[in-house]
Amino acid sequence: MTDGKEEIREALSQLQVKGKKDKDDDEKHAFWDTQPVPALSEDTDALGDGEIGPIDPPVMEKVRKAPYNLPDMFEWSDVNLETDEEAQELYTLLHENYVEDGDNMFRFDYSIPFLRWAMQPPGYRPAWHVGVRVVQTGKLVAFIGCTPAELYAHGVRVQPGPPPPQAEGCSSALPPSAAVAEAA
């Protein structure tokens, strides 16, 4: 009778473990290779002052004042992370719809206290936590959250100017399968 150690050794010897690539390896990035940002292999220390900053600074007069229309079955909603119920809704949305790796092996499982810590840093604004809900059920199906941040590029604080109403520092957390179209 074996103690199981030999079976474990045998199983481990059959695993193929992929190690991390060196920084110099040419690696394709499906998203970042399409963006107007320097590649990981580029030397950004040589960038001049005119090459750092926003690509297209916003013209505040052109920033939309009213929210986009949603299809009739959806509605915009504030998400109040101070309430346990709404914090649990955000946790469930993220946990059930997002994975952190391309192989769909590891699922995000951030605790509610961690989500509150991440989404409510000093200076946050509750109006920056916006959800999309199903009108009929009230279920949270999408979330867009913003947090204040000081940005530095090459040791220089980047001051983008006054934030547009309800739009500073926003990042979308829509489920990957969600597509919200503007109603005409």
Q: What is the pTM of this model?
A: 0.56
Query: Lowest-confidence range among 20-29, 97-106, 117-126, 129-138?
Result: 20-29
Q: Which 3 state secondary structure label does DSSP give 54? A: coil
Q: Which 3 state secondary structure label does DSSP give 32? A: helix
Contacts of 96 (CB under 8 A, 6+ apart): none
Query: Lowest-confidence range among 49-53, 79-83, 97-101?
Result: 49-53
The residue among 55 and 162 whose pLDDT is bigger is 55
**Cα of 177 vs its chain's centroid, Å:** 15
Q: Looking at mean pLDDT, say which of 10-14, 17-21, 122-126 comes out highest.
A: 122-126
Nearest residue to 25 via CA among 37, 39, 41:
41
Question: HSE on the CB side for 78, CA within 13 Å?
Answer: 9
Alpha helix locations (H) across the chain?
5-14, 84-97, 112-119
Residue 79 has pLDDT above 90, yes or no: yes
Cα separation, 52 vs 153, whole angstroms: 7
User: Residue 174's pLDDT band (boundaries 50, 70, 90)?
Assistant: very low
